[in-house]
Protein backbone atom coordinates (compact mmCIF):
# COMPACT_ATOMS: atom_id res chain seq x y z
CA UNK A 1 0.00 0.00 0.00
CA UNK A 2 1.32 3.42 -0.99
CA UNK A 3 1.46 5.38 2.28
CA UNK A 4 3.44 8.29 3.72
CA UNK A 5 4.27 9.49 7.21
CA UNK A 6 2.85 12.98 7.64
CA UNK A 7 3.34 15.04 10.79
CA UNK A 8 0.71 17.69 10.10
CA UNK A 9 -1.52 19.38 7.54
CA UNK A 10 -2.52 23.02 8.11
CA UNK A 11 -2.91 26.37 6.42
CA UNK A 12 -0.85 29.43 7.20
CA UNK A 13 1.39 31.96 5.46
CA UNK A 14 4.84 31.18 4.15
CA UNK A 15 7.41 32.28 6.73
CA UNK A 16 10.64 32.27 4.72
CA UNK A 17 12.12 32.71 1.29
CA UNK A 18 10.99 34.84 -1.62
CA UNK A 19 7.33 33.86 -1.23
CA UNK A 20 7.24 35.19 2.31
CA UNK A 21 3.68 36.03 3.34
CA UNK A 22 1.90 34.00 0.66
CA UNK A 23 -1.00 31.94 1.96
CA UNK A 24 -0.43 28.22 1.55
CA UNK A 25 -1.67 24.81 2.59
CA UNK A 26 1.22 23.04 4.31
CA UNK A 27 1.83 19.29 4.23
CA UNK A 28 4.70 18.42 6.57
CA UNK A 29 6.27 15.02 5.95
CA UNK A 30 7.96 13.07 8.74
CA UNK A 31 11.58 11.97 8.37
CA UNK A 32 14.71 13.25 6.67
CA UNK A 33 17.76 11.72 5.04
CA UNK A 34 20.04 14.38 6.57
CA UNK A 35 20.79 15.43 10.14
CA UNK A 36 21.91 19.06 10.01
CA UNK A 37 23.29 20.49 13.24
CA UNK A 38 21.04 23.55 13.05
CA UNK A 39 17.84 21.63 12.34
CA UNK A 40 14.97 22.85 14.49
CA UNK A 41 12.21 20.69 12.99
CA UNK A 42 12.03 18.09 15.75
CA UNK A 43 9.06 15.93 14.83
CA UNK A 44 8.03 13.22 17.25
CA UNK A 45 4.73 11.99 15.84
CA UNK A 46 3.03 11.32 12.55
CA UNK A 47 0.01 9.73 10.93
CA UNK A 48 0.11 7.45 7.94
CA UNK A 49 -1.87 8.65 4.96
CA UNK A 50 -2.85 7.08 1.69
CA UNK A 51 -2.80 9.52 -1.25
CA UNK A 52 -6.58 9.87 -1.51
CA UNK A 53 -6.81 10.55 2.24
CA UNK A 54 -4.38 13.44 2.01
CA UNK A 55 -6.10 14.85 -1.06
CA UNK A 56 -9.44 14.70 0.75
CA UNK A 57 -7.97 16.61 3.70
CA UNK A 58 -6.43 19.22 1.41
CA UNK A 59 -9.88 19.61 -0.15
CA UNK A 60 -11.27 20.77 3.20
CA UNK A 61 -9.37 24.06 2.79
CA UNK A 62 -11.64 26.28 0.74
CA UNK A 63 -9.87 29.63 0.81
CA UNK A 64 -7.71 30.98 -2.01
CA UNK A 65 -4.11 29.79 -1.69
CA UNK A 66 -0.91 30.52 -3.54
CA UNK A 67 0.03 26.83 -3.54
CA UNK A 68 0.39 23.66 -1.52
CA UNK A 69 3.72 23.60 0.30
CA UNK A 70 5.15 20.11 0.63
CA UNK A 71 7.72 20.39 3.39
CA UNK A 72 9.31 18.27 6.08
CA UNK A 73 11.42 16.53 6.97
CA UNK A 74 12.11 15.72 3.35
CA UNK A 75 9.07 15.19 1.10
CA UNK A 76 11.04 13.44 -1.63
CA UNK A 77 11.57 10.45 0.66
CA UNK A 78 7.96 9.59 -0.23
CA UNK A 79 8.35 9.93 -3.98
CA UNK A 80 5.72 7.43 -5.13
CA UNK A 81 3.13 8.70 -2.67
CA UNK A 82 3.87 12.30 -3.58
CA UNK A 83 3.64 11.61 -7.30
CA UNK A 84 0.13 10.24 -6.89
CA UNK A 85 -0.91 13.18 -4.71
CA UNK A 86 0.51 15.74 -7.15
CA UNK A 87 -1.37 14.20 -10.05
CA UNK A 88 -4.63 14.40 -8.10
CA UNK A 89 -4.17 17.93 -6.75
CA UNK A 90 -3.16 19.19 -10.19
CA UNK A 91 -6.60 18.19 -11.41
CA UNK A 92 -8.02 20.35 -8.62
CA UNK A 93 -6.18 23.40 -9.93
CA UNK A 94 -3.56 23.55 -7.18
CA UNK A 95 0.00 24.70 -7.68
CA UNK A 96 2.81 22.84 -5.94
CA UNK A 97 5.65 24.30 -3.87
CA UNK A 98 8.39 21.86 -2.86
CA UNK A 99 10.61 22.54 0.15
CA UNK A 100 13.63 20.25 -0.15
CA UNK A 101 17.16 19.70 1.08
CA UNK A 102 18.38 19.39 -2.49
CA UNK A 103 19.93 15.92 -2.33
CA UNK A 104 17.48 13.36 -3.77
CA UNK A 105 18.14 13.89 -7.46
CA UNK A 106 16.45 10.82 -8.93
CA UNK A 107 13.33 11.42 -6.90
CA UNK A 108 13.05 15.02 -8.10
CA UNK A 109 13.59 13.89 -11.69
CA UNK A 110 10.47 11.74 -11.46
CA UNK A 111 8.34 14.51 -9.96
CA UNK A 112 9.58 17.74 -11.52
CA UNK A 113 6.89 17.88 -14.22
CA UNK A 114 4.27 18.18 -11.45
CA UNK A 115 6.14 20.85 -9.41
CA UNK A 116 5.69 24.59 -9.94
CA UNK A 117 8.11 26.08 -7.37
CA UNK A 118 11.23 24.58 -5.80
CA UNK A 119 12.64 26.04 -2.59
CA UNK A 120 16.01 24.28 -2.51
CA UNK A 121 18.38 24.25 0.42
CA UNK A 122 22.11 24.56 -0.03
CA UNK A 123 23.74 22.71 2.84
CA UNK A 124 26.95 24.62 3.47
CA UNK A 125 29.47 22.17 5.01
CA UNK A 126 30.54 24.62 7.71
CA UNK A 127 26.92 25.36 8.62
CA UNK A 128 25.17 22.02 8.36
CA UNK A 129 27.88 19.61 9.49
CA UNK A 130 26.85 17.31 6.61
CA UNK A 131 30.11 17.41 4.66
CA UNK A 132 30.56 18.23 0.97
CA UNK A 133 27.27 17.98 -0.92
CA UNK A 134 28.18 20.33 -3.77
CA UNK A 135 28.17 17.74 -6.56
CA UNK A 136 24.80 16.39 -5.41
CA UNK A 137 23.42 19.93 -5.17
CA UNK A 138 24.68 20.63 -8.67
CA UNK A 139 22.86 17.64 -10.15
CA UNK A 140 19.73 18.51 -8.19
CA UNK A 141 19.73 22.14 -9.29
CA UNK A 142 20.04 21.13 -12.94
CA UNK A 143 16.74 19.29 -12.60
CA UNK A 144 15.06 21.92 -10.39
CA UNK A 145 15.98 24.69 -12.85
CA UNK A 146 13.42 23.33 -15.29
CA UNK A 147 10.88 25.07 -13.06
CA UNK A 148 11.00 28.19 -10.88
CA UNK A 149 13.66 27.59 -8.24
CA UNK A 150 15.27 29.68 -5.54
CA UNK A 151 17.95 28.65 -3.08
CA UNK A 152 18.23 29.01 0.68
CA UNK A 153 21.32 28.76 2.86
CA UNK A 154 21.45 28.92 6.64
CA UNK A 155 24.28 31.17 7.78
CA UNK A 156 25.77 30.41 11.19
CA UNK A 157 28.47 32.03 13.28
CA UNK A 158 30.84 29.29 12.08
CA UNK A 159 29.95 29.47 8.39
CA UNK A 160 33.07 29.96 6.26
CA UNK A 161 33.32 32.29 3.29
CA UNK A 162 34.59 29.50 1.02
CA UNK A 163 31.18 27.84 1.30
CA UNK A 164 29.49 30.97 0.00
CA UNK A 165 31.96 31.15 -2.88
CA UNK A 166 31.25 27.50 -3.75
CA UNK A 167 27.54 28.35 -3.76
CA UNK A 168 28.12 31.33 -6.04
CA UNK A 169 30.10 29.16 -8.43
CA UNK A 170 27.31 26.58 -8.49
CA UNK A 171 24.58 29.13 -9.13
CA UNK A 172 26.48 30.90 -11.91
CA UNK A 173 27.24 27.62 -13.63
CA UNK A 174 23.81 25.97 -13.40
CA UNK A 175 21.07 28.56 -12.79
CA UNK A 176 22.42 32.13 -12.85
CA UNK A 177 19.01 33.79 -12.59
CA UNK A 178 18.11 31.98 -9.36
CA UNK A 179 17.90 34.02 -6.16
CA UNK A 180 19.98 33.00 -3.15
CA UNK A 181 18.26 33.61 0.18
CA UNK A 182 20.68 33.99 3.08
CA UNK A 183 18.98 32.94 6.33
CA UNK A 184 20.50 33.73 9.72
CA UNK A 185 20.53 30.84 12.17
CA UNK A 186 17.76 31.89 14.54
CA UNK A 187 19.52 30.33 17.54
CA UNK A 188 22.70 32.40 17.33
CA UNK A 189 23.81 35.98 18.02
CA UNK A 190 21.75 38.20 15.66
CA UNK A 191 24.17 41.15 15.89
CA UNK A 192 27.15 39.04 14.86
CA UNK A 193 25.18 37.39 12.07
CA UNK A 194 23.85 40.71 10.78
CA UNK A 195 27.39 41.85 10.01
CA UNK A 196 28.30 38.54 8.40
CA UNK A 197 25.16 38.52 6.28
CA UNK A 198 25.81 42.06 5.04
CA UNK A 199 29.29 41.01 3.99
CA UNK A 200 28.02 37.86 2.29
CA UNK A 201 25.36 39.78 0.41
CA UNK A 202 28.01 42.19 -0.87
CA UNK A 203 30.19 39.28 -2.02
CA UNK A 204 27.22 37.92 -3.98
CA UNK A 205 26.66 41.32 -5.55
CA UNK A 206 30.30 41.51 -6.63
CA UNK A 207 29.89 38.13 -8.37
CA UNK A 208 26.58 39.17 -9.96
CA UNK A 209 24.50 36.64 -8.04
CA UNK A 210 21.15 37.92 -6.76
CA UNK A 211 21.05 37.49 -2.98
CA UNK A 212 18.78 38.71 -0.23
CA UNK A 213 18.75 38.35 3.53
CA UNK A 214 15.42 37.01 4.82
CA UNK A 215 15.12 35.64 8.36
CA UNK A 216 12.62 32.93 9.22
CA UNK A 217 9.81 35.38 9.94
CA UNK A 218 7.41 32.78 11.27
CA UNK A 219 9.78 32.13 14.15
CA UNK A 220 10.07 35.83 14.95
CA UNK A 221 6.32 36.40 14.88
CA UNK A 222 5.12 33.13 16.36
CA UNK A 223 3.14 32.19 13.25
CA UNK A 224 2.93 28.48 12.58
pLDDT tier, 140 (very low <50, low <70, confident <90, very high otherwise): very high
Q: What is the largest CA-CA distance in the chain?
A: 52
Q: Are strands 4-13 and 148-155 parallel, antiparallel or unpaired?
A: unpaired
User: What local confidence, expressed as pLDDT, does residue 39 receive?
Assistant: 87
R_g (Cα) of the chain, nearest Å: 17
Angle at 94 between CA 93 and CA 96, to 5 degrees: 145
CA distance 152 to 55: 28
Answer positive or negative: Cα dihedral of 34, 37, 39, 44.
positive
Question: Is pLDDT of 222 > 70?
Answer: no
pLDDT in tens, 171-206: 999 999 999 999 999 889 999 999 999 999 999 999
Q: Which residues pair with 181 in a beta bridge?
A: 152, 212
User: What local confidence, expressed as pLDDT, does residue 223 receive?
Assistant: 67
pLDDT in tens, 17-44: 999 999 999 999 999 999 999 987 778 8
Question: Is pLDDT of 220 > 80?
Answer: no
User: What local confidence, expressed as pLDDT, does residue 186 receive?
Assistant: 86
User: What local confidence, expressed as pLDDT, does residue 130 receive?
Assistant: 94
Q: How far is CA 196 from CA 3, 59, 151, 206, 218, in A?
A: 43, 43, 18, 15, 22
197: Cα separation from own chain's centroid: 20
Q: What CATH number is given to the structural domain containing 185?
A: 3.20.20.70
Domain range spanning residue 73?
4-221
Averaged pLDDT, 210-222: 80
Structural domain count, the chain: 1
Cβ distance 68 to 58 under 8 Å? Answer: yes
What does pLDDT average to over the chain? Answer: 95
Of residues 107 and 219, the one with the higher pLDDT is 107
User: What local confidence, expressed as pLDDT, does residue 224 receive?
Assistant: 67
CA distance 31 to 174: 29
Averaged pLDDT, 129-145: 97
Amino acid sequence: MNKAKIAEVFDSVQGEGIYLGEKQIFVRFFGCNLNCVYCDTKLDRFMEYEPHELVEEIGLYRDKYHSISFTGGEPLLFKDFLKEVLQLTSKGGHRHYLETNGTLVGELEELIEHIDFVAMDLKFPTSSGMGDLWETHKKFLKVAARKEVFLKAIICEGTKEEDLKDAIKLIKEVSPSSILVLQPNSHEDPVFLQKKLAKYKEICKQHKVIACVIPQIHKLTGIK
